[in-house]
């Protein structure tokens, strides 16, 4: 019986020592397996996967939606028919719900979920009444644009993404536009002759990209 008790004691000591050694091995020696073999799930390497191609459009703008045409003409043959046109230059629709166009005095906010289709424009008739649809929006509360002024497009009503000013520098939002390189402080577009509108050609973020042309809303 004495020998049997001694045997049990020795066995307990051996087991305790073995478990302790194994635990220490787990704590200090375990490494994450490194695989240099085949990839059975054919998982892509994130460093070599091609990145999605961004939608086409004006590369000088942070969004494909830009201010494309503005008719000021406060006293000419188009007086009372002022408008602003936005254009989606990409190949995909863009949700501009909650976006705002403003001259710093008046503003218009697009309704929730408003979609601007790829390659399409929406015309805002300023100071005019009418029935809104995807191609035309009527903003009777928008005050008449003057021969000197500016227009800003604010994404989600906060982030300025496009801008133009005419007649003189230092108009509303010029400083913000200059900070994000959407305009150059001190620059402005010469007001167009009566009956003509300001048209953006997409080549730059300054007055050189704006030309005078016959008003062509929606075209």
> CA-to-CA distance for 67 and 104, rounded, in angstroms?
16
Long-range contacts of 188-196 (CB under 8 A, 24+ apart): 189/164, 189/165, 190/166, 191/72, 191/147, 191/148, 191/166, 191/167, 192/72, 192/73, 194/73, 194/75, 194/76, 194/77, 194/78, 195/73, 195/76, 195/77, 195/78, 196/73
- Please give the pLDDT value at position 117: 96
Identify which has the larger pLDDT, 217 or 87. Answer: 87
Query: Is the pLDDT at 34 greater than 60, yes or no?
Result: no
Q: Which residue has the tokens 């005095």?
A: 105
The beta-strand segments (E) located in 128-179 are 136-139, 149-155, 159-166
User: Can you give the pLDDT at residue 195?
Assistant: 81
Q: What is the predicted pLDDT for the residue at 79?
A: 66
pLDDT digits (tens, 9 = 90+) for 121-162: 999 999 999 999 999 999 999 999 999 999 999 998 899 999
The topology (CATH level 3) of 65-214 is Immunoglobulin-like (2.60.40)
At residue 193, the pLDDT reads: 85
Higher pLDDT, 64 or 45: 64
Residue 84: per-residue pLDDT: 96
> Residue 44 pLDDT > 60, yes or no?
no
Tens digits of per-residue pLDDT, 160-180? Answer: 999 999 999 999 999 999 999
* Residue among 72, 80, 119, 113 at smallest CA distance from 95: 113
The set of long-range contacts for 131-139, using a CB threshold of 8 Å and a minimum separation of 24, is: 135/218, 136/218, 137/108, 137/110, 139/106, 139/108
pLDDT at 95: 96
Residue 59 has pLDDT above 90, yes or no: no
**pLDDT in the model for residue 49:** 41
Q: What is the pLDDT of residues 199-219, one digit of tens each?
A: 999 999 999 999 999 988 888
What is residue 76's predicted lDDT score, i.e. its pLDDT?
66
**Domain residue ranges in the chain:** 65-214
Q: What angle do CA 76, 125, 75 make, to 5 degrees?
A: 15
Using a pLDDT cut of 70, give the percent of the chain over it. Answer: 70
Of residues 172 and 50, more confidence is placed in 172
Partner residues linked to 124 by β-bridges: 84, 137
Alpha helices in the chain (DSSP H): 2-29, 174-179
């Amino acid at each position: 019986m004495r020998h049997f008790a001694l045997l049990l004691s020795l066995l307990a000591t051996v087991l305790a020592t073995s478990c302790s050694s194994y635990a220490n091995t787990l704590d200090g020696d375990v490494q994450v397996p490194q695989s240099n073999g085949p990839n059975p799930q054919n998982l892509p390497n994130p460093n070599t996967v091609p990145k999605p191609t961004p939608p086409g459009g004006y590369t000088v703008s942070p969004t494909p939606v830009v201010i494309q045409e503005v008719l000021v003409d406060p006293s000419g043959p188009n007086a009372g028919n002022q408008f602003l046109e936005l254009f989606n230059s990409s190949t995909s629709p863009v949700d501009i719900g909650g976006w705002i166009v403003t001259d710093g005095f008046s503003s218009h906010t697009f309704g929730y979920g408003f979609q601007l289709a790829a390659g399409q424009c929406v015309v805002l008739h300023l100071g005019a009444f009418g029935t809104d649809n995807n191609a035309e929006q009527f903003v009777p509360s928008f005050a008449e644009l003057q021969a000197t002024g500016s227009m800003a497009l604010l994404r989600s009503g906060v982030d300025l993404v496009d801008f133009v000013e005419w007649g003189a520098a230092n108009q509303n939002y010029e400083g913000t536009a200059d900070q994000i390189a959407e305009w150059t402080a001190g620059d402005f577009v010469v007001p167009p002759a009566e009956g003509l509108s300001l048209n953006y050609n997409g080549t730059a973020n300054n007055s050189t990209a704006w030309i005078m042309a016959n008003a062509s809303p929606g075209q």
